[in-house]
Chains A and B, each alone.
Chain A
Amino acid sequence: MADPKPDTMDYYKHDEVLDIDYTPPSENWMDIKYDPAFYERRAGSWIYTTKKQHIEYLGMPNPHDWSPTDEDWGLPDNWKEIIFNGIRERLDKYRSFKIFMDCCVRCGACADKCHFYIGGGDPKNMPVLRAELLRSIYRNDFTMAGKILGRLVGGRKLTINVIKEWFYYFYQCTECRRCSVFCPYGIDTAEVTMMGRELLHLLGLGVNWIMQPVASCYRTGNHLGILPHGLKDTLEFFAEDIEDVTGIEVDIPINQKGADILFATPSGDFLAEPGTFTCMGYMMLFHELKERYGLTYTWSTYCSEAGNFGLFTSKEAMKRLNAKIYTEAKRLGVKWIIGGECGHMWRVLHQYMDTLNGEIKEGWKEAEEPKSPITGTVFENAKSTKMIHITEFTSDLIKHGKLKLDPSRNDHLNVTFHDSCNPARAMGIFEEPRYVIKNVCKNFHDMPPNTIREQTFCCGGGAGLGTDENMEMRLRGGLPRGNAVKYVHDKHGVNKLACMCAIDRATLTTVCEYWAPEVDVTGIHELVGNAMVMKGEKEQRTKDLRLDPLPGFEDAEDDDV
């Protein structure tokens, strides 16, 4: 067998990964070199660079092909000026940036809160030091003390080495905001990372795992580049499996004008297990609501993605990708919008969408304050955006007894719940998902309090870092989460990790496989789909949505093969 490569899990021995040394090196952090040899040595900890064509397609600056292992990164001649102007512009535009540059007291409260630091021990992954990477430049060239005293007061000159260092560390932050919870001034290193990445983009430096989806999403409506007929095929394929399980043929409304609701979700759920099962759960839920209560919904091909890798790129990119949601809601004449289970997507929908694209709502005649016609609940909290989270919707249905549920079908599961970073720390949606899960599964155990809710740990692959060439960082960053999962497995026998995020569903699968191999990952609406007793479904389900036999039906398997 060939030796495993750095982009596979097997390459990393557990005891080697766990041999974490928190003692900082003797060398001052400003003096460390990020030359090609460094990048070669650290394969598995950085992400392949953007292909020129995507940058070109998006009309972003300095498209070129390059690699961190090159000596010459192909920067424009006036790169320094570009960076300085970029910093100045962002200081003028963001009070947050100024405050975060000026107010840190280096108290260290944030230091051991970052999953990458916990799992890796690299001091530059302490949020405070990550921010200092940029702050040192700010200090040197934008503050009086720094201009006079320079390095003495923590300033440093902008050199190519600094850019090379930024690229490494701003792509080792998942913008999870855990550090910001603990900072006495709310300094949000995610915000600093965003600025850092925007600055790098001014020089044409980005990673392909983010920019390819951004370009695809701009063109085809979703990150994966699924074309309209492809989406239809996919959903039809899911419908077949649903029929197999339940005996019901669900409808697949696509681009239907005049539906009550537009449903938008991350495209990851069209492609990769276990997200696909969650997607089936949505289809079943909406079908059921139509059968029982006459509520209609539609998918959209133009808006076949509500996730937004623009968030990891720049405000402009985020706005460009996000605009299609309101555009499509208006075109189709729906009343309001439901968003599926996704993490970063909900940061965009909750904290950015209305500000960026709110004016598109003008002229959307059918728009209404979201009100569930089934329960009569008015979602006042979404009065302006007209978009609610699927678990807000489903928990309301369950609370009012509008769904027929048989949680015993999930009795073989012992579930815990991973709060995804963004819904947790940029929204605060904690009870809704738990309420749904507890109503569809009898066995539920939360992980320890330091690892859930606002203190939740990242999956290690957010903000565009969830790709295999970054495997080492994903495993290290996933350690705190994986460890907490392992803990509830050992203590309570947990065997399912529920999450409401498409990136989680992909990355936590890896994290669990490595750190808690007895536990696997599910979305919430997969659990709902399995527990829901649909109108007119077959007498007795024998399989779950994964087409695995339900307990007691192991032998009855495969009447259809």
Chain B
Amino acid sequence: MNVLSSLVVVLALILVVYLGVDKAGLTALFGTVLPYVAIVLFLGGFIYRILYWAKSPVPFRIPTTCGQQKTLPWIKPNNFDNPHNGFGVFVRMVLEVLFFRSLFRNTRTQIVKDGPKVGYASNYWLWFLAIAFHWAFLIVFVRHLRFFTEPIPEWILGLQAVDGFIEYGVPVFYITSVLLVVGVAGLLVRRLFSSQLRYISLLNDYFPLFLILGIALTGVLLRHYVKTDIVSVKEMTMGLISFSPVNPEGVHVMFYIHFFLVTCLFAYFPFSKLMHLGGVFLSPTRNLANNNREVRHINPWNPKVKLHSYAEYEDDFRDKMVAAGIPVDKE
């Protein structure tokens, strides 16, 4: 149900832009107005969300410790899985953000019937798909900066060259295009075929997958199968970035579809779970040092509570304490 609706939404988006551009000629709307709106929504929404999170304090220092703590000098602490200083936290975050350290730990649990035993198998699939997808997407994104720079910086060209190292096809296929499609499709398949995952998945989970799959596939189509006037496209993208938008003739509708889906992704981003991109940096179970007993952590709203003082306690039980020969403050 959620799967279908998400797919339908993405197909509807494609239909809208197709009709809008191809039939109604609304190139300015899809080529200029909506992209600007989306960027404003993206930046505004992103900043708003970060501020919304940052506004709430971190009342307690609650890292999830995944390695040996620092105590006695002869016990080797694991500073990357259980950081006790800023450097450790930095490394932990780098491992988490760039290499998905926690996902790498993933295991699959199953009941082995004859035994009876609970078994745990390493399960790197999720990690692999996630890493392939995220890294490929990042590199694809960076590669696209060639449409927004003139002259194109050396390093982008270099990245492109490396990415196309297999030198297959004209123009060459990029390895990241393949990984991106494989990654997204894999994550989608995984979500569809595991009954548990299907049970917890929402429209909000399928939609971005279909959307990004749409972006990736239209991108591949554009590069390899649909001939569009690349010079006009660049004219258009440079116009956008320099705030003097143009909508040249000869740009294929497939480009508009690709471009509009990206527009949608930008606009959707800050209002969705995709904000985990920002959230991962702010997660208090990961970004704090486990030095609780060494440095006091201050809670700005430390609750005021009623206490049962020692004096009250002694008043309650003095007779019994005296009778048992336990020292008291007031005889």
Q: When chains A and B are docked, how far (Å) is the Cα of A256 from the Cα of B60?
A: 33
Say yes or no: is B199 at the interface (Cβ < 8 Å to chain A).
yes
Query: Given the complex, which residues of A lie within 8 Å of B284, measured CB to CB?
Result: 95-96, 99, 186
The 7 A-B pairs with the shortest beta carbon distances in the complex, nearest first, are: A428-B69, A186-B285, A229-B324, A103-B279, A428-B65, A24-B199, A154-B202
Interface string of B58-95 (1 = CB under 8 A from A): 11111111111111111110100110100000000000
> Is the beta-carbon distance between A145 and B272 smaller than 8 angstroms?
yes
Q: Count contacts on A: residues with CB < 8 A to the other chain.
A: 117
A-B contact pairs, 23 of them (CB 8 A): A102-B49, A108-B126, A118-B118, A154-B203, A181-B102, A182-B105, A191-B62, A219-B316, A221-B313, A255-B326, A315-B303, A320-B307, A358-B296, A379-B71, A384-B295, A385-B296, A395-B75, A426-B63, A426-B65, A428-B68, A428-B69, A430-B67, A487-B117
Known pairs A254-B326, A323-B307, A358-B296. 19 more at Cβ < 8 A?
Answer: A94-B56, A97-B56, A111-B197, A126-B196, A128-B200, A153-B203, A184-B96, A185-B276, A228-B317, A229-B326, A232-B326, A351-B292, A352-B60, A355-B299, A381-B69, A381-B294, A426-B62, A427-B69, A431-B75
Interface residue from A29, A350, A424, A480 paired with B292 (Cβ < 8 Å): A350
> Is the beta-carbon distance between A377 and B324 smaller than 8 angstroms?
no
Interface residue from A18, A111, A349, A427 paired with B111 (Cβ < 8 Å): A18
Given contact pairs A99-B283, A377-B72, A106 touches B205 in the complex (Cβ within 8 A): yes
Q: Count contacts on B: residues with CB < 8 A to the other chain.
A: 103
Say yes or no: is A208 at the interface (Cβ < 8 Å to chain B).
no
> Is the beta-carbon distance between A95 and B58 smaller than 8 angstroms?
yes
Interface residue from B57, B61, B309 paired with A327 (Cβ < 8 Å): B309
Say yes or no: is B170 at the interface (Cβ < 8 Å to chain A).
no
Given contact pairs A228-B321, A356-B299, A108 touches B59 in the complex (Cβ within 8 A): no
> Is the beta-carbon distance between A424 and B65 smaller than 8 angstroms?
yes
Interface of A is mostly: helix
Q: When chains A and B are docked, how far (Å) is the Cα of A128 from the Cα of B26?
A: 43
Given contact pairs A91-B56, A355-B299, A399-B72, A328 touches B204 in the complex (Cβ within 8 A): no
> Is the beta-carbon distance between A396 and B290 smaller than 8 angstroms?
no
**A residues 248-273 touching B (CB-CB < 8 Å):** 254-257
Interface residue from A186, A254, A328, A430 paired with B64 (Cβ < 8 Å): A186
Interface residue from A105, A182, A301, A429 paired with B205 (Cβ < 8 Å): A105
Q: When chains A and B are docked, how far (Å) is the Cα of A181 from the Cα of B283?
A: 13
Output the residue of A109, A316, A324 with the most chain B CB within 10 A: A109
The closest CB in chain A to the CB of B65 belongs to A428
Q: How far is the CB of A22 from chain B (nearest CB, A)?
A: 7
Query: Given the complex, which residues of A lie within 8 Å of B67, measured CB to CB?
Result: 428, 430, 453-454
**B residues 232-259 touching A (CB-CB < 8 Å):** none
Q: When chains A and B are docked, how far (Å) is the Cα of A381 from the Cα of B65?
A: 15
> Is the beta-carbon distance between B69 and A425 smaller than 8 angstroms?
no
> Is the beta-carbon distance between B64 and A426 smaller than 8 angstroms?
yes
Say yes or no: is B175 at the interface (Cβ < 8 Å to chain A).
no
Q: How far is the CB of B114 from chain A (nearest CB, A)?
A: 11
Q: When chains A and B are docked, how far (Å) is the Cα of A451 from the Cα of B119?
A: 10
Query: Given the complex, which residues of A lie within 8 Å of B66, measured CB to CB?
Result: 181, 425, 428, 454
Q: When chains A and B are docked, how far (Å) is the Cα of A139 from the Cα of B33?
A: 30
Q: When chains A and B are docked, how far (Å) is the Cα of A381 from the Cα of B292?
A: 8
> Is the beta-carbon distance between A255 and B72 smaller than 8 angstroms?
no
> Is the beta-carbon distance between A431 and B68 smaller than 8 angstroms?
yes
Say yes or no: is A245 at the interface (Cβ < 8 Å to chain B).
no
Query: Given the complex, which residues of A lie within 8 Å of B100, measured CB to CB?
Result: 184
Query: Given the complex, which residues of B lie within 8 Å of A320, measured CB to CB?
Result: 305-308
Say yes or no: is A412 at the interface (Cβ < 8 Å to chain B).
no
> Is the beta-carbon distance between A229 and B195 smaller than 8 angstroms?
no
Say yes or no: is A67 at the interface (Cβ < 8 Å to chain B).
no
Given contact pairs A123-B196, A184-B102, A431-B75, A219 touches B308 in the complex (Cβ within 8 A): yes
Interface residue from A118, A177, A229, A487 paired with B321 (Cβ < 8 Å): A229
The closest CB in chain B to the CB of A317 belongs to B305
Q: When chains A and B are docked, how far (Å) is the Cα of A455 from the Cα of B122?
A: 13
The closest CB in chain A to the CB of B284 belongs to A96
> Is the beta-carbon distance between A302 and B313 smaller than 8 angstroms?
yes
Say yes or no: is B153 at the interface (Cβ < 8 Å to chain A).
no
The closest CB in chain B to the CB of A310 belongs to B305
> Is the beta-carbon distance between B58 and A96 smaller than 8 angstroms?
yes
Q: How far is the CB of B98 from chain A (nearest CB, A)?
A: 12
Q: How far is the CB of A519 from chain B (nearest CB, A)?
A: 16
**B residues 292-331 touching A (CB-CB < 8 Å):** 292-299, 301-303, 305-310, 313-314, 316-317, 320-321, 323-329
Q: How far is the CB of A165 from chain B (nearest CB, A)?
A: 15
Query: Given the complex, which residues of B lie within 8 Å of A78, measured CB to CB?
Result: none
**A residues 318-349 touching B (CB-CB < 8 Å):** 319-320, 323-324, 327-328, 331, 349
Query: Given the complex, which residues of B lie within 8 Å of A351, measured CB to CB?
Result: 60-62, 292
Q: When chains A and B are docked, how far (Å) is the Cα of A66 from the Cα of B291?
A: 43
The closest CB in chain B to the CB of A26 belongs to B199
> Is the beta-carbon distance between B326 and A383 smaller than 8 angstroms?
no
Q: How far is the CB of B294 from chain A (nearest CB, A)?
A: 5
Output the residue of B70, B103, B196 with the most chain A CB within 10 A: B196
Say yes or no: is A559 at the interface (Cβ < 8 Å to chain B).
no
Q: When chains A and B are docked, how far (Å) is the Cα of A177 from the Cα of B286?
A: 13
Q: When chains A and B are docked, how far (Å) is the Cα of A104 from the Cα of B274?
A: 9
> Is the beta-carbon distance between A123 and B200 smaller than 8 angstroms?
yes
Query: Given the complex, which residues of A lie within 8 Å of B74, measured CB to CB?
Result: 399
Query: Given the complex, which residues of B lie within 8 Å of A257, measured CB to CB?
Result: 327
**B residues 155-175 touching A (CB-CB < 8 Å):** none
> Is the beta-carbon distance between B120 and A450 smaller than 8 angstroms?
yes
> Is the beta-carbon distance between B292 and A108 smaller than 8 angstroms?
no
Q: When chains A and B are docked, how far (Å) is the Cα of A128 from the Cα of B49?
A: 22
Query: Given the complex, which residues of A lie within 8 Å of B116, measured CB to CB?
Result: 14, 18, 483
Interface string of A401-444 (1 = CB under 8 A from B): 00000000000000000000000111111111001000000000
Interface string of A350-367 (1 = CB under 8 A from B): 111011101000000000
Interface string of A466-502 (1 = CB under 8 A from B): 0000000000000110011001000000000000000
Q: When chains A and B are docked, how far (Å) is the Cα of A93 from the Cα of B161?
A: 49
> Is the beta-carbon distance between A96 and B310 smaller than 8 angstroms?
no
The closest CB in chain B to the CB of A379 belongs to B71
Say yes or no: is A540 at the interface (Cβ < 8 Å to chain B).
no
Query: Given the complex, which residues of A lie within 8 Å of B310, measured CB to CB?
Result: 302, 324, 327-328, 331
Given contact pairs A188-B62, A254-B326, A354 touches B276 in the complex (Cβ within 8 A): no
Q: When chains A and B are docked, how far (Å) is the Cα of A455 from the Cα of B64?
A: 11
Q: When chains A and B are docked, how far (Å) is the Cα of A323 from the Cα of B55?
A: 29
Say yes or no: is A152 at the interface (Cβ < 8 Å to chain B).
yes
Say yes or no: is A218 at the interface (Cβ < 8 Å to chain B).
yes
Interface residue from B71, B294, B328 paired with A384 (Cβ < 8 Å): B294
Given contact pairs A126-B196, A384-B293, A454 touches B282 in the complex (Cβ within 8 A): no
The closest CB in chain B to the CB of A369 belongs to B294
Interface residue from B84, B195, B203 paired with A152 (Cβ < 8 Å): B203
> Is the beta-carbon distance between B293 and A354 smaller than 8 angstroms?
yes
The closest CB in chain A to the CB of B113 belongs to A18
Query: Given the complex, which residues of A lie within 8 Å of B329, measured CB to CB?
Result: 331
> Is the beta-carbon distance between A106 and B120 smaller than 8 angstroms?
no
Q: How far is the CB of B222 from chain A (nearest CB, A)?
A: 28
The closest CB in chain B to the CB of A111 belongs to B196
Query: Given the complex, which residues of A lie within 8 Å of B197, measured CB to CB?
Result: 106, 108, 111
